[in-house]
A and B are shown apart, each in its own frame.
Chain A
Amino acid sequence: MPHVAQPESIVVQLNALAGGLFLLSAFGMVATRQVQGCMRFFILQSVFLASSAVLLGLELRSWHLIAVGVINLVNKAILIPWLFKKTVSEEVYTKREISQVLNIPISLLVALGLTVGAYYLASPMLKVGAGLPALANLPIGLATLLLGAYTLTVRREAVPQLLGILSMENGAFFASLAIAPELHLFIELVIAFDLLVAVFVIAVLTRAIQRRIGTTEVGSLAALKEESVR
């Protein structure tokens, strides 16, 4: 580390705040009932990710992190929503409730449990990394990773499931701000590109499903089991 930040520094505190709100938007994605709401929480989450990167870039005097923040902002808050709008707009931008496996209060409690679990998992790593300026990002990122996986599991709609995956990657990146701030910028760029490809491919698949089956409630697809063979 080139520079160890003071714990009281206001930038670090603001970064922690961005972290708290980042985690909260992951909860929002679990709690919201509409596809569009899910999308908005994802955009919010990406904005907090970008702001955390920029704040840490300021703190560590690292242009690299600021660039990471800008890449994330452009990619996730602008390009990906735009791509969604282009490809599956009727799925995202009509106000429709998402069907899901568990009801929302129970989902929220499970999500809380996952968050506590993430902190528990991260606590030995926190000891290793003591002194890193943005260590709070690590457990928050891990928690968001788990929450994204959970969103993916309980939602039965195509778009929220994809948003769950994107949210997981957001979580991983959020953690990476703390643990791997020197990761090669080239890698970050290519991964950003990869996310766009992922959204595109899944959106094409979603459209194919919608044309073929008439719904994007992928949770109701259950033809493939051992019993049902024609």
Chain B
Amino acid sequence: MIVIAILVLPLLAAGLCAIPTIGRRVAAQITMATFIILFALSIRVALRVIALGTYVAAPGWIEVDAFGALILLLVTAVGVMACLYSLGYMARTTHDKSLLFHYYANLNLFIFSMLAVPVVVVPSITWLAVEFTTLLSVLLVGFENSREALEAAWKYAILTLMGAAIALFGFLVLFWAMRQAGSDDYTWAGLVSVSSHMSPVLMRMAFLSILVGFGAKVGFVPLHTWLPDAHSQAPTPVCALLSGVETTAVLYVILRLMPIAHNSLGASAERWALVFGLLSVGVAAFLLLQVHDYKRLFAYSTVEHMGIIMTAVGLGGAAAHYGAMYQILSHALTKSLCFFAAGSVLMITGTRNIASVKGLMRASPLAGSALLLGGLAIAGAPPFAVFLGEFSILRAGINQGHYFAIGLLAVFLSVAFFGILLHVNRMVLGRTDPTVELTPRIPWTCSLTLFVAAVPVIIFGLYVPNTLHQLLIRAAAIIGG
């Protein structure tokens, strides 16, 4: 029942918010309340999953396991923060405030689509949910209605829908492969159980189609070109959702496929994952060095982190899988903090250009320290959560003897570390430019969001609660097959 409620609630809220006469304040409050309830429900689901293994809402259609519960938790957690941030940020930055009810209605729909991805167990419906994450977020990306925002929304829509069409073909071939193997159970678990009987020829086609198709949406190089545009032009709370959890939710589907592909194709599935992962990390790390826009900086960092997770999956083995899960968790939380900080900087300075932002620490200690914290954390400095994740991946790789891949990964991570901190330091430290007009006050909900978002980033670097640890271990076991 809880899972059904999780799916129905945002739809109801969207319907309420879409009533034009309801007003933007009420719409915002409805959305806020919905997201908090969703988060609470997700925690309940996660606890149930830890206790029982799988939470079955509608057998054969809607079931949640540990991996799904992890994604649910992340989506709702980042959703709550994004909504809280929206309250102040959207009221400050939107010109025509009467249109804000659209924003909240759409935000609810977007959350709905992302919540549908991890709870549905029929692969084709999962595909559909992923397609809806695009369709229901396109108008959010273009919400600012500027030339750039519309361009970003267009590229986002077209490239990801193209990817989705390729992935659709992959899912159809997957279905064929399942029928060929003599099974009738078209669910993720059913696929895993017959995967060793599947024809490798069909599986390879299905796997590569889905990897390439959804890879375009996750942001794997070379199909990442839309990502920095969309993730930088969208309103900041939406950026946090896109970068923090939408990419993760799509990656979830690819990771679900890994055990199936592994059983059918053997090590070559991992090799493909490794190639895509390392390529993304490498290219993104070097692109990070030359950005001029700090929101794009964090967008490229998303490409890098998706690559890291994929590399971890490509390394294989329980330890690397655990690292991947931990990285998913820490990336989602840290990246949303980064975008919230970046949005605050945008509100204070009015520019996205790294070079025109100086001495942020003096201008606004809160935004400055949040940006510094976020930058350090996302770059992978100890003692933050991302560091722990990256470290466990590197250690797992060395233990398995993947020296070459780990060497490359370490080099790319250092380059990315250097690149992010180079830009962040320039912005945070130094003297303020007296000619630039600043508005140092940011809305209190935004400040609150910065505090809330910083807490897990710091805590999870030092200590992982046991229940969460259990959840991560089980999720890692699921992608291990």
Contacts and interface: CB of A to CB of B under 8 A. Distances in A.
4 nearest A-B pairs in the assembled complex, by CB-CB distance: A168-B165, A179-B176, A221-B151, A229-B292
Nearest to A190: B128
Interface string B171-203: 011011001100000100000000000010110
B154 interface: yes
B152 A224 contact: yes
A169 B128 CA distance: 12
A226 B135 CA distance: 26
Interface stretch (A16-24, A49-57, A78-86, A123-131): A123-131
Contacts of A208: 142, 145, 150
A198 B229 contact: no
B135 A201 contact: yes
Contact of A218 (B122, B154, B166, B202): B154
B201 A213 contact: no
A179 B205 CA distance: 13
B435 interface: no
Interface string A137-150: 00001100100110
A230 interface: yes
A194 B154 contact: no
Interface string A199-211: 0011011001100
Interface of B: 122, 124-125, 128, 131-132, 135-136, 138-139, 142, 145-148, 150-155, 157-158, 161-162, 165-166, 168-169, 172-173, 175-176, 179-180, 186, 199, 201-202, 205, 228-229, 233, 287, 290-293, 296, 351-353
Nearest to A198: B135
A223 interface: yes
B102 to A, nearest CB: 11
8 contacts: A145-B165, A165-B161, A165-B162, A165-B165, A191-B124, A202-B138, A224-B148, A224-B152
Given A145-B166, A162-B158, A226-B291, 15 more contacts: A121-B205, A125-B173, A141-B169, A149-B162, A152-B162, A161-B158, A180-B175, A183-B172, A202-B161, A205-B138, A208-B142, A224-B155, A226-B290, A227-B292, A230-B351
Contact of B165 (A127, A172, A190, A204): A172
B198 to A, nearest CB: 10
